[in-house]
C-alpha cells in the first residue's frame, strides 16, 4: 500500500482530536459518577450514537462485509431482525428499570432485583468477557495493519524490523485508548464514539458510492449475482434454499429473539451509554435514536462485501509493498475477494472439492485499495482504525465500571470514599488494557483457546435474557430461581453444543465433543441459533420452577424494579417524535418496510 503525506496528515489530525477530547473533558471529572457514568448528563442523541458506535467495532465493519460477500443481503437479518426489535424493546420496556432504579451497572440491577450471588456471577463473567473482546479487537487490528502493510514504509525508513509492526500496532492502540479514557472517563469514551461514528460513515460512504457506480447500482448487483444473494427472506422457508443455511423459525427465535435481546437488552457495554443520559426520557430514547442509523447500516457495511463479490474477477491482486518493493501474487478468487493463501507455501488453500477458499475478511480492505486514491485512502484507513478503537474503548469503560462498582466495592473494599473509587477506576482502566494486551497476544499464539473462550461466552450469554425478562416482568421471580436458571441455561447450552454438529464438520470445537451426535445441523449458524434457543428455554423454565419453590421477596422492596409495581413514566406532554413510544413505532414501521423492499 502506498500511503503518502496527505494520508498521514489525515490520520494524525484524527488522533490529535481523539486525545484532545480527553484533555478537554479532564477538568470535568471530579467524582466517580463523572468518571463511570459521565455525570448522567449526556443528551439523548449523543448517547444514541455512542450506543451503536460502541458496538460498531472491527468485527462489525470487517465481519459484516465478509458476511455480505459470503451470504448476500440476507446478512441484513443481523440488523433488521437481530438488532432493531431488541433496541426498541429495551428503550420502551426495560430502560425505566435500568435508569429508574439508579443502578450504576447491569450487574448492580441484578443485585437490587435478585441477590448478591446472581450479581457476582454476572459481574465476573461480564468482566472477563470484555477484557477478551477488547483483546481480540486489538489483535484483529494489528493483523490488519500487518496484512495491509500500512506501517511498512515508515518502518523501512526508520530501519526497524518489520516483525515489530505487530507489537507497535498493539502498543499504539492500547496507548491511545488508555489515554483518552484515563483523562475523561466515560464522557470521553462517549464523545469519541460519536466522533468515530461520523468518521466511519465519512470513510465508508464514498466507498459504497464508487462501488455502486462501478457495478451499475443495485440492479447491476442483481444482474451479476444469483438471486440468493439479493433476497433476504424469499428462501428462508427451509435451510436448504438460502445461503445462511437456517430456516425462518431458527432465525427469528434464535437470532431475532434470544441472541439479539440477550445482547441489546442486557449487555452493559451498550446499556452503559443509555445510563449516562441526562433524564429518564433521554435514556429511553437512546436505543430508539440508535436504531435509526442502525437500520441503514447494512447499506454501509454489507454492500461493500456484495459489490466486491459482484465485480469481475481479478486474476492478479496486489498485496502491496513488501520489503523488497512492489510484490504481485497471482491468485485466484471471486470478484475482488482473494483466496486464502497458505503462509508457508504461498499457494491458495483449497477445500475438499479442490476449490480455493475465499478470504472474505479481506472484502473491505481490498475494496478500499481498489477504489481509493491517496487522500481518501487515508480517510478510509482512519475510519477502520476508528472502528477498532471504538469497540475496544467500549469494552474498557464497561470493564472498569463493573470491576470498581460490582467487584471491588462489593467484595474487596466497601465503604471507601468516592475519591478512592475514582482512583480505582483509573487503575482498573490501566489494568483492563494491560489484560487486553495479554489477551491479544494469547489470541496470536493460541488460536484454539480464543475460539474456545468465545464458545464459552456464547454459553454464558445465551440464557441471560430469560433472567432479565422474568426479573422485570414477574414479581414472583426470586434470586435462587435466577441463579439456578442461569447455571442451568449455560449448562444446557454446553450440552446441546456437545451433542450436535453442523454438517461436514469434525467433532471438537465445532460440536459433538461429548462423543455422541444426536442431531446434525445444516450449518454452523443454525447450530448456534438452536443452542441459544435451548439455553434460553432451559433458563426460563428452571427460573420459573425454582422461584415458585422458594420464598418471594416483599413487594415493597421491588418497587422501581418490576413492571407491575412501578409507576409508568409519563411523557404525554412531549410531541410524538420525542416520546419513546412514538419513536419506537416509527422505527418498527421503517424496519418492516426495509424488509419488504429486499424480500
Partner 1 sequence: MGLDVRLPIGALFVILGVVLASFGVVSDKALYERSLGININLEWGLVMLGFGLIMLIFGRHRSIADIEGRTSARDRSAEEGEKTCPPGKQT
Residues lying near partner 1 in the complex (CB under 8 A) are found at 6, 9-10, 13-14, 17, 20-21, 24-25, 28, 30-31, 33, 37-43, 46, 102, 187, 191, 194-195, 198-199, 202, 206, 210, 213-214, 278-280, 282, 370-376, 379, 569
Question: Quick one: 31 or 227, whose CB is closer to partner 1?
Answer: 31
Q: What is the enclosing helix (H) or strand (E) of 390?
A: helix 376-401
Residue 589, class by beta-carbon neighbours within 10 Å (0-12 exposed, 13-18 middle, 19+ buried)? exposed
Whats the size of the chain, residue-wise?
599
Exposure string of 361-370, with b = 16+ CB inside 10 Å and e = fewer, is bbbbbbbbbb
DSSP H helices, 311-375, are 363-371
Beta bridge partners of 341: 348
Q: What's the min distance (Å) between Cβ of 237 and partner 1?
A: 40
502 - beta bridge partners? 521
| Shortest reach from residue 288's CB to partner 1, in Å | 17
Place of cell 505487530: 166
CB nearer to partner 1: give 279 or 550. Answer: 279
Closest distance between partner 1 and the C-beta of residue 40, in Å?
A: 5
Closer of 31 and 241 to partner 1 (Cβ)? 31
- The minimum distance between CB 383 and partner 1, in angstroms, equals 11
Q: Quick one: which of 564, 559, 586 has its CA closest to 93?
A: 564
Strands 500-502 and 337-338, sheet pairing: unpaired
**Beta-sheet pairing, 519-521 with 500-502:** parallel
Pairwise CA distance, residues 53 & 194, whole Å: 7
CB of 165 to partner 1, least distance (A): 25
* Burial environment of residue 191 by CB neighbours within 10 A (0 to 12, 13 to 18, 19 or more): buried
Neighbours of 579 (CB within 10 A): 18
| DSSP notation for 120-179 | HHHHHHHHHHHHHHHHHHHHHHHHHHHHHTTTHHHHHHTT--TTHHHHHHHHHHHHHHHH
Shortest Cβ 202–partner 1 spacing (Å):
6
Residue (97 or 371) nearer to partner 1, CB:
371
Whole-angstrom Cα distance, residue 313 to residue 13? 36
Helix (H, G, I), strand (E, B) or coil at 467: helix
- Least separation in angstroms between CB 357 and partner 1: 27
In whole angstroms, how close is the CB of 561 to partner 1 at the nearest point? 14
Nearer to partner 1, 16 or 517 (CB): 16
Coil, helix or strand for 358? strand
Residue 532, CB-side half-sphere exposure with 13 Å CA sphere:
28
* Residue closer to partner 1 (CB basis): 243 or 370: 370
**Least distance (Å) from partner 1 to the CB of residue 55?**
18
Decide whether 376 or 450 has the Cβ nearer to partner 1. Answer: 376
Residue nearer to partner 1 on the CB measure, 214 or 410: 214
Rounded to an integer, what distance in angstroms lies between the CA atom of residue 80 and that of residue 594? 8
What DSSP designation does 332 have?
-
Cβ nearer to partner 1, comparing 213 with 219: 213
Contacts 24+ apart (CB under 8 A), 13-17: 14/199, 14/382, 14/386, 15/176, 17/195
Nearer to partner 1, 204 or 465 (CB): 204
Residue 322 phi, psi (nearest 5): -90, -175
* Structure-block grid coordinates of residue 248: 425462518
As a whole number of Å, the CA-based R_g of the chain is 24
In this structure, what is the dihedral angle of CA atoms 570, 260, 363, 451, given to the nearest 10 degrees?
140
**Measured distance CA(42)–CA(44) in Å, rounded:** 7
Q: Closest distance between partner 1 and the C-beta of residue 572, in Å?
A: 15
Select 551 or 556, whichever has its Cβ closest to partner 1. 556
> What is the distance between the alpha carbons of residues 174 and 430, in angstroms, rounded to a whole number?
9
Closest distance to partner 1 from the beta carbon of 296 (Å): 17
Residue 100 Cβ vs partner 1, minimum distance, rounded to whole Å: 8
Q: What's the closest the beta carbon of residue 216 comes to partner 1, in angstroms? A: 12
Which cell is 417 given? Answer: 470514599
Nearer to partner 1, 145 or 199 (CB): 199
Return the number of the residue (163 or 567) whose C-beta is nearest partner 1: 567
Cβ 274 to partner 1 shortest distance, Å: 15
Rounded to the nearest whole angstrom, what is the least distance from the CB of residue 42 to partner 1 in the complex?
Answer: 7
Give 210 or 442: the residue with its C-beta nearer to partner 1. Answer: 210
Give the integer Cα–Cα distance in Å for 175 and 193: 17
Cα distances from 483 to residues 179, 299, 302, 539, in angstroms, run 38, 41, 39, 9
Which is closer to partner 1, CB of 383 or CB of 546?
A: 383
Report CA-CA distances (Å) from 502 to 318, 414, 535: 35, 48, 18
Amino acid at each position: 500500500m502506498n500511503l503518502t503525506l496527505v494520508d498521514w496528515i489525515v490520520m494524525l489530525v484524527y488522533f490529535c482530536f481523539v486525545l484532545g477530547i480527553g484533555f478537554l473533558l479532564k477538568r470535568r471529572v471530579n467524582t466517580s459518577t463523572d468518571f463511570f457514568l459521565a455525570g448522567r448528563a449526556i443528551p439523548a442523541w449523543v448517547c444514541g450514537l455512542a450506543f451503536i458506535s460502541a458496538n460498531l467495532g472491527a468485527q462489525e465493519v470487517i465481519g459484516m462485509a465478509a458476511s455480505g460477500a459470503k451470504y448476500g443481503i440476507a446478512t441484513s437479518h443481523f440488523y433488521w431482525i437481530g438488532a432493531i426489535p431488541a433496541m426498541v424493546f429495551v428503550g420502551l420496556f426495560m430502560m425505566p428499570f435500568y435508569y429508574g432504579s439508579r443502578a450504576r451497572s447491569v450487574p448492580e440491577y441484578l443485585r437490587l432485583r435478585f441477590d448478591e450471588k446472581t450479581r457476582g456471577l454476572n459481574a465476573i463473567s461480564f468482566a472477563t468477557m470484555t477484557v477478551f473482546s477488547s483483546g481480540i479487537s486489538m489483535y484483529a487490528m494489528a493483523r490488519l495493519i500487518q496484512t495491509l502493510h500500512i506501517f511498512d514504509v515508515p518502518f523501512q525508513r526508520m530501519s526497524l524490523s518489520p516483525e515489530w509492526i505487530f507489537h507497535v500496532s498493539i502498543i499504539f492502540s492500547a496507548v491511545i485508548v488508555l489515554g483518552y479514557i484515563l483523562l475523561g472517563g466515560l464522557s470521553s469514551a462517549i464523545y469519541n464514539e460519536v466522533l468515530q461514528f461520523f468518521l466511519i460513515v465519512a470513510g465508508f460512504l464514498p466507498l459504497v458510492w464508487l462501488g455502486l457506480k462501478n457495478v451499475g447500482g443495485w440492479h447491476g448487483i442483481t444482474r451479476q449475482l444469483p438471486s440468493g444473494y439479493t433476497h433476504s427472506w424469499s428462501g428462508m422457508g427451509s435451510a436448504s434454499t438460502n445461503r445462511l443455511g437456517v430456516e425462518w423459525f431458527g432465525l427469528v427465535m434464535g437470532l431475532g429473539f434470544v441472541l439479539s435481546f440477550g445482547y441489546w437488552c442486557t449487555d452493559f457495554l451498550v446499556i452503559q451509554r443509555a445510563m449516562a443520559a441526562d433524564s429518564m426520557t433521554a435514556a429511553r430514547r437512546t436505543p430508539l435514536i440508535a436504531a435509526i442509523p442502525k437500520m441503514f447500516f447494512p447499506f454501509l457495511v454489507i454492500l461493500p462485501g456484495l459489490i466486491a463479490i459482484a465485480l469481475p474477477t481479478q486474476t492478479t491482486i496486489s498485496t502491496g509493498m513488501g520489503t523488497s518493493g512492489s510484490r504481485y501474487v497471482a491468485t485466484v478468487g471471486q470478484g475482488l475477494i482473494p483466496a486464502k493463501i497458505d503462509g508457508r507455501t504461498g499457494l491458495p488453500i483449497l477445500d475438499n472439492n479442490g476449490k480455493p477458499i475465499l478470504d472474505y475478511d479481506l472484502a473491505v480492505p481490498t475494496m478500499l485499495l481498489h477504489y481509493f486514491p491517496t487522500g481518501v485512502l487515508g480517510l478510509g484507513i482512519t475510519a477502520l482504525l476508528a472502528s477498532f478503537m471504538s469497540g475496544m474503548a467500549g469494552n474498557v469503560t464497561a470493564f472498569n465500571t463493573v470491576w470498581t462498582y460490582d467487584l471491588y466495592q462489593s467484595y474487596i473494599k466497601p465503604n471507601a470514599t468516592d475519591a478512592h473509587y475514582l482512583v480505582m477506576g483509573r487503575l482498573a482502566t490501566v489494568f483492563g488494557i494491560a489484560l487486553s494486551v495479554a489477551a491479544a497476544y494469547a489470541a496470536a499464539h493460541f488460536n484454539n483457546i480464543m475460539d474456545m473462550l468465545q464458545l464459552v461466552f456464547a454459553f454464558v450469554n445465551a440464557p441471560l435474557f430469560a433472567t432479565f425478562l422474568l426479573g422485570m416482568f414477574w414479581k414472583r421471580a426470586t434470586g435462587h430461581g435466577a441463579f439456578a436458571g442461569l447455571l442451568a441455561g449455560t449448562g444446557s447450552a454446553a450440552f446441546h453444543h456437545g451433542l450436535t454438529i453442523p454438517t461436514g464438520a469434525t467433532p471438537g470445537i465445532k460440536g459433538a465433543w461429548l462423543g455422541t451426535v444426536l442431531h446434525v445441523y445444516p450449518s454452523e449458524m443454525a447450530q448456534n441459533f438452536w443452542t441459544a434457543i435451548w439455553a434460553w428455554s432451559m433458563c426460563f423454565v428452571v427460573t420459573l420452577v425454582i422461584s415458585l419453590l422458594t420464598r418471594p421477596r416483599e413487594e415493597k422492596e421491588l418497587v422501581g424494579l418490576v413492571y407491575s409495581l412501578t409507576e409508568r413514566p409519563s411523557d404525554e406532554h412531549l410531541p410524538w417524535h420525542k416520546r419513546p413510544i412514538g419513536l419506537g413505532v416509527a422505527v418498527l414501521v421503517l424496519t418492516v418496510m426495509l424488509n419488504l423492499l429486499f424480500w
